[in-house]
């Protein structure tokens, strides 16, 4: 099944899950639609579907959309004036500019609330799986995950070594990738060994993705992002510590690790592996342009 078709199914499911725009409070629901259904890669729900062996039944699609709801909520908060003070997201004004700061905050809160509701109310998923997914999501969102990564990013305290930056990258990006692929594995009923391999894959893939984001933020080809750039110029990142050659070396090492963990999880020759390889081509292309 083509990725474009899967993305269309994801968008249709998101539309089903969101409250109708005309339902009161309509202004809030319009903001949720605006932030959630704008142009985007839908990478996280795609990871869930592909980790679940391209299952496209209604309950897998719903569970796959949980990560997109959380991701969108995090982007809304990340863009606020009290956070990164951004103006553009996904090639259009941020939610707090299109609506208001208060509406954006409440839309983000409601998206997080909706994510847990989707898990709890998902048909044809056993209770033990729902509990495991909910507990995992709580960890991913919390102070050891997205929230912790966000406050560390805002504080921008001096970083002692590269491993601390990699941990920050995992909190900011990798942990939600982890949730996405592990959720797919849980829906397939896979065991602890597969989940462990996918967890390691997500850490490597998250590092790659965040390093790519750093390259876009710092480079002349940043128009590819569809969002504000030069946001991290005063922050310590792997890109600020590495030479261009070291960046390419780090990408190669992380890609090798990601491939190995996908193989261990039984995804060495799958649509999930193919999607990841497509992302690697993009990452490597950006790295080749560094310093050029």
Q: Are 136 and 179 in contact (CB under 8 A)?
A: yes
In the predicted model, is pLDDT for residue 153 greater than 90?
A: no
- Closest listed residue to residue 241, CA positions, set 171, 161, 151: 161
Q: What is the pLDDT of residues 7-51, one digit of tens each?
A: 999 999 999 999 999 999 999 999 999 999 999 999 999 999 999
Mean pLDDT is lowest, of 9-23, 96-110, 223-237, for: 223-237
More confident residue, 242 or 86: 86
Q: How many domains does the chain have?
A: 1
CATH number of the domain bearing residue 138? 1.10.600.10
pLDDT average, residue stretch 184-206: 96
User: Does the predicted TM-score (pTM) go above 0.85?
Assistant: yes
In the predicted model, is pLDDT for residue 222 greater than 50?
A: no
Please tell me the distance from the alpha carbon of residue 38 to that of residue 92, in angstroms, as a whole number. Answer: 9
Task: Give the residues across from 93 on adjacent strands.
Answer: 88
pLDDT of the residue at 162: 83
More confident residue, 230 or 197: 197
Q: Which domain holds residue 244?
A: 3-288
Q: What is the pLDDT of residues 236-257, one digit of tens each?
A: 788 888 888 888 899 999 999 9
Here the tokens at position 133 are: 């997914």
pLDDT of the residue at 205: 97
pLDDT average, residue stretch 202-214: 93
Cα distances from 240 to residues 104, 213, 222, 246, 247, in angstroms, run: 32, 13, 16, 11, 10
pLDDT average, residue stretch 122-132: 95
Q: Is 144 exposed, middle or buried (0-12, 13-18, 19+ CB in 10 A)?
A: middle
Quickly list DSSP for the chain: --HHHHHHHHHHHHHHHSPPTTSSSHHHHHHHHHHHSSS---HHHHHHHHHTTS--SHHHHHHHHHHHHHHHHHHHHHHSTTTT---EETTEE-HHHHS-HHHHHHHHHHHHHHHHHHHHH-TT--HHHHHHHHHHHHHHHSTTTHHHHHHHHHHTPPP-SHHHHHHHHIIIIIHHHHHHHHHHHHHTT--HHHHHHHHHHHHHHHHHHHHHHHHHHHSTTGGGGSS----STTS--HHHHS-HHHHHHHHHHHHHHHHHHHHHTT-TTSHHHHHHHHHHHHHHHHHHTTT-
Q: How do 92-93 and 88-89 pair as beta strands?
A: antiparallel
The mean pLDDT value of the chain amounts to: 91
């Amino acid at each position: 099944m083509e990725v474009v078709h899967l993305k269309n199914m994801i968008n249709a499911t998101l539309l089903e899950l969101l409250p109708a725009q005309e339902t009161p409070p309509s202004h809030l629901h319009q903001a949720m639609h605006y932030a959630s259904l704008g142009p985007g890669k839908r990478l996280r729900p795609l990871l869930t579907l592909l980790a679940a062996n391209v299952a496209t039944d209604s309950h897998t699609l719903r569970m796959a959309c949980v990560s997109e709801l959380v991701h969108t909520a995090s982007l809304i908060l990340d863009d606020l004036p009290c956070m990164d003070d951004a103006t553009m997201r996904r090639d259009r004004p941020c939610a707090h500019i299109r609506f208001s700061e208060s509406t954006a905050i409440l839309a983000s809160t409601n998206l997080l609330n909706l994510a847990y509701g989707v898990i709890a109310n998902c048909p044809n998923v056993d209770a033990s799986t729902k509990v495991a997914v909910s507990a995992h999501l709580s960890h991913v969102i919390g102070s050891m995950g997205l929230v912790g990564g966000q406050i560390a990013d805002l504080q921008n305290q001096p970083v002692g070594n590269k491993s601390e930056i990699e941990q920050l990258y995992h909190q900011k990006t990798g942990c939600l990738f982890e949730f996405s692929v592990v959720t797919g594995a849980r829906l397939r009923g896979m065991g602890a060994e597969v989940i462990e391999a996918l967890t390691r894959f997500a850490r490597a893939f998250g590092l790659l993705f965040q390093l790519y984001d750093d390259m876009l933020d710092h480079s002349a080809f940043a128009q590819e992002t569809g969002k504000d750039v030069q946001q991290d110029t005063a922050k310590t990142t792997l890109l600020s510590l590495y030479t261009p050659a070291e960046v390419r070396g780090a990408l190669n090492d992380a890609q090798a690790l990601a491939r190995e963990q996908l193989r261990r999880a039984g995804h060495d020759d799958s649509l999930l592996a193919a999607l990841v390889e497509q992302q690697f081509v993009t990452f490597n292309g950006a790295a080749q342009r560094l310093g050029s």
